[in-house]
Amino acid sequence: MKKTYERCTVCANPDRRRVIEAGWNAGMNATAIRRVMESPPTSEAIMRHIRDHADGDGNTRQLEVDVEMPMRDRVYAIQKMQVDEIERRIELAKTRADDMNRARENLTDADGNPFPPVDWSDFYDILSVKAQAAISSILKTQTIADKREKAQGDLKLGLFEAMASAGLAPKALVGGVSVPMLVSGEDEEDGD
């Protein structure tokens, strides 16, 4: 995934970034790119982005242009980032608790009692409103994906069952089911 820079007006919009980088690769200069865009960044901003932020070689007009991902893939990417961030925060909390417990190992309070061990949940409350909202969002996205996959699986299974009952499924999958023989039109009785 490409790095984006918060203050860069080109990086701020992925579609704008792709258009500018593709235009640059096609031989357009910053002024020409600016001319064909609606509410364009300045020519200086375009050149600064190409020089400082774009991946690839701007001098030879060979920038790496991202392809636009389908909406489903973009949603899954956001879901994965959410899961990764929650897991990262939990790991940070566990590490911090372990470090604190090691540091307090042989220490006692003013009364001579050892300090109680610290739990990682003291540093990251997975039951907090914010954490639960994030988890709920992840679960809703996963539920939608699971329903879609189940519907597609049911459709494929239904199609296979229909083919098998009609004798059209591959023999290797259904066993030795024979395909019904077709009779010639001459042998059939006329319905007159």
Q: Which pLDDT does position 4 carry in this prediction?
A: 64
- Tell me whether residue 157 is in a domain: yes
57 and 76 fall within a common domain: no
- Count other Cβ atoms within 10 Å, centred on residue 68: 10
48 and 27 fall within a common domain: yes
- Tell me whether residue 152 is in a domain: yes
Q: Which pLDDT does position 7 carry in this prediction?
A: 76
What residues make up the domain containing 32?
14-63
Q: Which pLDDT does position 137 carry in this prediction?
A: 85
DSSP assignment string, 68-123: PPPHHHHHHHHHHHHHHHHHHHHHHHHHHHHHHHHHTTT-B-TTSPBPPPPPGGGT
158 and 78 fall within a common domain: yes
Q: Which two tokens stand for residue 74?
A: 């973009």
- Tell me whether residue 187 is in a domain: no
pTM of the model: 0.49
Q: What total of structural domains would you count in the chain?
A: 2
- Tell me whether residue 111 is in a domain: yes
DSSP class of 56:
E
* Residues 101-141 pLDDT 10s: 999 888 888 888 888 899 999 999 888 998 888 888 888 88
Q: Which two tokens stand for residue 165?
A: 């009952």
Residue 188: is its pLDDT beyond 60?
Answer: no
Q: Which pLDDT does position 170 carry in this prediction?
A: 67
Please, are residues 108 and 114 in contact by the beta-carbon 8 Å criterion? Answer: yes
- Lowest-pLDDT range of 27-41, 47-61, 85-99, 108-122: 47-61
59 and 76 fall within a common domain: no
132 and 94 fall within a common domain: yes
- Tell me whether residue 183 is in a domain: no
